Amino acid sequence: MGGLTDLGAAELLSALATRRTSATEVMAAVLDRIAAVNGPVNAIVALRDRDALMAEAAAADTVPQDRRGPLHGLPMAVKDLAGVRGIRSTWGSPILADNVPDKDDMLPRRLRAAGAILIGKTNTPEFGLGSQSFNPIYGATATPFDLSRTAGGSSGGAAAALAARMLPLADGSDMMGSLRNPAGFCNVYGFRPTWGRVPTDPVGDTFLHQLATDGPMARNVADLALLLQVLAEPDPRLPHGRPNQAFATGLDTDPRGLRIGWLGDWGGAYATEPGILDLCQSALATFADMGCTVAPVAPPYPAEKIWHAWITLRSWAVAAKLGPWHANPKTRALLKPEAIWEIERGLALSAMEVHRASVLRSEWNTIAAGLFDQFDVLALPVAQVWPFAKDTPWPKSIGATPMDTYHRWMEVVVPASLIGLPTLAAPAGFGADGLPMGLQLIGPRGQDHRVLQLGQSWHRATDWPGRRPPDLPLSL
């Protein structure tokens, strides 16, 4: 049997509750593991002082059982796109290189209230833009399965820390695949909830922008559900909220008879590197062996219309958020080119251009709803490329197909993101060169629990995250 850092969150929490281990023992094991393997992976950043963390863990051990929250004593590091009290919070940007907030944003506030001990941050690209977790503050994060290649992003630090057994559980966020690409690149699970399921602080507009969401990452589906339940408590100040559910219960179901629609490369619209579709189809064959019905689906809506709606609404959202940094010449000079490109596109949009993009989004939503009359979930690859060199900002081409933007190479995640559908990134196995890849399982709006149930069946049948990275020492 492995050590404490091999255990998932639910296993650790059970051991803590029954006094088979202590928060101090867990914290020591996690910090020792980070010291042993974080160097070449570069997933954990802004790590707090060991003595302070050990003292916090010791205090957690004295709390009576009836006053412990659902994450009590669990070490966690927050993705560096949230402000965390007392911890350097940079958003990967030199503009915020010295930023140490005096209060928590909503997500870390909920983690603390649930009893988690916040040890630092997980790495991310600048302002979360792009699916490659590098920035001028901390550098690039590698997938533990090949230390020369990227962990993906923008939740790359979270995914890599999980795969390398530095964390038992992690938060992430997802506008354009940021919970899904890194999960696939690091052989872990990521879950993008139905949009509105996980609230954020009601700062600025709370009605218009419906693309980005926070969500959980883990090495098993039960842990995903546990964290989702903590994060998904609705906030009455937000207009599009959804009621919380007992996501962590009732996960074990019989998948026989479930219908899976395979969208593949959207009829050739999504250029994809060799081997990815084959691997995902092998995963679907396993679903068939489990008693599910798997059928191919012809492209249900033009991919180019989805893409046009996406880049319009995304640039509009990015410009709304980052526009003040662009307006100031001093901070504009510190923005990366991709951020400037997004902001300037968004600032140039007219109200009617945004409206027409939302009409396309509405058309796609109507068609997708009809697909779920025929299928319980839809399936797509998590990514169109294998993990690429971590010194490459983004792929400029896929085969002979040039990529015309810094994110066109991850277009496959857009159909779910555009209309806010719950999507599980499930590990699908490994390619011929040992690199991991994943499969998106997309459910109807609001059916998060149904998607997690199918994911639980998949995990019990495969447990791909049980395969450890080959170039790192065994867990402590």
Provide DSSP, 177-223: STTTHHHHHHT-EEEEPPTTSS-----S-SSS--S-EEEEEESSHHH
Map tokens 């914290």 to a residue.
27
Neighbours of 362 (CB within 10 A): 12
**What span, in angstroms and rounded, lies between the C-alpha atoms of 455 and 459?**
6
Pairing of strands 436-442, 401-402: unpaired
**What span, in angstroms and rounded, lies between the C-alpha atoms of 470 and 145?**
6
- Is the separation of the CB atoms in 39 and 63 below 8 Å? no
pLDDT digits (tens, 9 = 90+) for 306-338: 999 999 999 999 999 999 999 999 999 999 999
What amino acid positions are annotated as catalytic residues?
Answer: 79, 154, 178
Distances (CA, A) of 75 to 263, 317, 458: 38, 33, 27
**What span, in angstroms and rounded, lies between the C-alpha atoms of 123 and 134?**
8
**What span, in angstroms and rounded, lies between the C-alpha atoms of 1 and 274?**
37
**What span, in angstroms and rounded, lies between the C-alpha atoms of 387 and 408?**
15
Tell me what pLDDT residue 474 has. Answer: 78
- Is the separation of the CB atoms in 295 and 347 below 8 Å? no
Dihedrals phi, psi of 436, to nearest 5 degrees: -80, 160
Name the amino acid, one letter, at 30.
V
- Is the separation of the CB atoms in 292 and 258 below 8 Å? yes
Tell me what pLDDT residue 475 has. Answer: 67
Where are the chain's structural domains? 4-466
Tell me what pLDDT residue 1 has. Answer: 39
Tell me what pLDDT residue 471 has. Answer: 83
**DSSP state at residue 84:** B
The residue ranges of the chain whose pLDDT is under 50 are: 1
**DSSP state at residue 154:** S
The string of DSSP letters for 249-285 reads SS-----TT-EEEE-TTTTTTS---TTHHHHHHHHHH
**What span, in angstroms and rounded, lies between the C-alpha atoms of 402 and 155?**
25
Q: How would you label 77-97 residue by residue, b for 16+ Cβ within 10 Å and e otherwise?
A: bbbbbbbbeebbbbbbbbbbe
What's the count of helices (H) and strands (E) in the chain, helices before strands? Answer: 14, 17
On the question of a cis peptide bond just before residue 154, with omega within 30 degrees of 0, the verdict is yes
- Is the separation of the CB atoms in 202 and 177 below 8 Å? no
**What span, in angstroms and rounded, lies between the C-alpha atoms of 234 and 198?**
7
Tokens read off for 60 = 């957690």
Architecture (CATH level 2) of domain 4-466? Alpha-Beta Complex (3.90)
Beta-carbon-side half-sphere exposure of residue 87 (alpha carbons within 13 Å): 30
- Is the separation of the CB atoms in 114 and 123 below 8 Å? no
Tell me what pLDDT residue 2 has. Answer: 66
- Is the separation of the CB atoms in 109 and 71 below 8 Å? no
pLDDT digits (tens, 9 = 90+) for 43-71: 999 999 999 999 999 999 999 999 999 99
Name the amino acid, one letter, at 138.
Y
**DSSP state at residue 105:** -
